Structure 1
Amino acid sequence: MNRLNLVCIGVKDMSRALAFYKAIGFQTPETSESPPIVFFDNEGSKLELYPISELQKDINSDYPPALSVGEFSGITFACNMKTEEDVDATMRLVEEAGGEVVKHPQTVFWGGYSGYFRDLDGYYWELAYSDDWQFDDRNMLIIENE
């Protein structure tokens, strides 16, 4: 099981979440404004939006897990960029689309350039760049063993 094909995030308002992710550059063939489920076609994986209440029931219909509102779940998503300008431009798109910048892009302790935002449902995303990074022909980050 050495792969991650799909990341599903539960959303409270499908049409609002769909518009947000489209506005920041995610692509989907979906044409409806409020579909029951959305899959974004990414390079190497897919991002899925699914109503949070349905996701809770899918995990356990008899005893759905409770939501932890306003707490950090310990999970972040990351988009590794090819330039600092890409980080800045994407963060501007996030703000324009209604996302909350929680850490403006800056030079960070590990030598790269990074910032964080929260999407409309409170999920944390990192946008990051490093001079040392290389990408393969599918735009996947190459991580070599040191």
Structure 2
Amino acid sequence: MHAITLAVADVERSAEFYRALLDVEGSGIIGTEYPRSADQAGGTTAMFTLDDGLIVSVYAREDMALDSGVDLPHGPTSTIGHFVDSRAEADAFLERARSAGATMLASPYTRPWGMYSGFFQDPDGHLWEIVANPGGGDPASVG
């Protein structure tokens, strides 16, 4: 996977949130010279490249719907998982999410299978799970 693009209500607000959450520099906003028209999606998006090369992008919900031809659901329909090496890293990421304006959900705890995780929602309701992978390696093999 190279990129994940999230449908958002306000690209600038979401860019500010993700810039703080992901601890990246710059606005990330591109494509402002391509405004939306009645039959053409706009090009304004914000893109942030993470250390592992994955691009996290936010794109206006109306533009994504127009571009794809799909009526997009509101509310979470999936979870974005972010794995870190330790409980301390998970707690630090969750605190950064809170400071950036996330809606914090149930307090993080250690799952019966050994993974420590917690959840939050971004300003548009996208559901994130931050997981401390106790054994390292492939998280699909834990348990």
TM over 0.5, yes or no? Answer: yes
Say whether 1:10 aligns with 2:32: no
Cα distance between partner residues in 2 of 1:145 and 1:102:
24
Per the alignment, do residues 128 and 15 of structure 1 end up closer, same or farther by CA in structure 2, a change over 3 Å counting?
Answer: same
Counterpart amino acid of residue 51 in structure 1 = A
**3-state DSSP of counterpart to 1:103:** coil
Aligned residue pair count: 131
Per the alignment, do residues 55 and 76 of structure 1 end up closer, same or farther by CA in structure 2, a change over 3 Å counting?
Answer: same
Instruction: Give the corresponding residue for 1:87.
Output: 90
Shift of 1:26: 4.6
**3-state DSSP of counterpart to 2:47:** strand
Say whether 1:40 aligns with 2:44: no
Shift of 1:143: 5.4
Stretches of structure 2 that go unaligned for 5 or more consecutive residues are: 33-43
Stretches of structure 1 that go unaligned for 5 or more consecutive residues are: 135-140
Shift of 1:83: 1.1
Say whether 1:59 aligns with 2:36: no
Cα distance between partner residues in 2 of 1:28 and 1:7:
19
Conserved 8 A contact 2:15-2:29 = no
Conserved 8 A contact 2:29-2:46 = no
Instruction: Give the corresponding residue for 1:137.
Output: none
Per the alignment, do residues 113 and 40 of structure 1 end up closer, same or farther by CA in structure 2, a change over 3 Å counting?
Answer: same
Conserved 8 A contact 1:99-1:120 = yes
Identity of aligned residues (%): 23
TM-score by length of 1: 0.78
TM-score by length of 2: 0.79
Instruction: Give the corresponding residue for 1:49.
Output: 58
Counterpart amino acid of residue 49 in structure 2 = D
Higher helix share: 2
Q: CA RMSD in A?
A: 2.6
Per the alignment, do residues 118 and 105 of structure 1 end up closer, same or farther by CA in structure 2, a change over 3 Å counting?
Answer: same
Instruction: Give the corresponding residue for 1:25.
Output: 22
Counterpart amino acid of residue 69 in structure 1 = H
Cα distance between partner residues in 2 of 1:145 and 1:48:
29
Counterpart amino acid of residue 76 in structure 1 = T
Conserved 8 A contact 2:133-2:139 = no
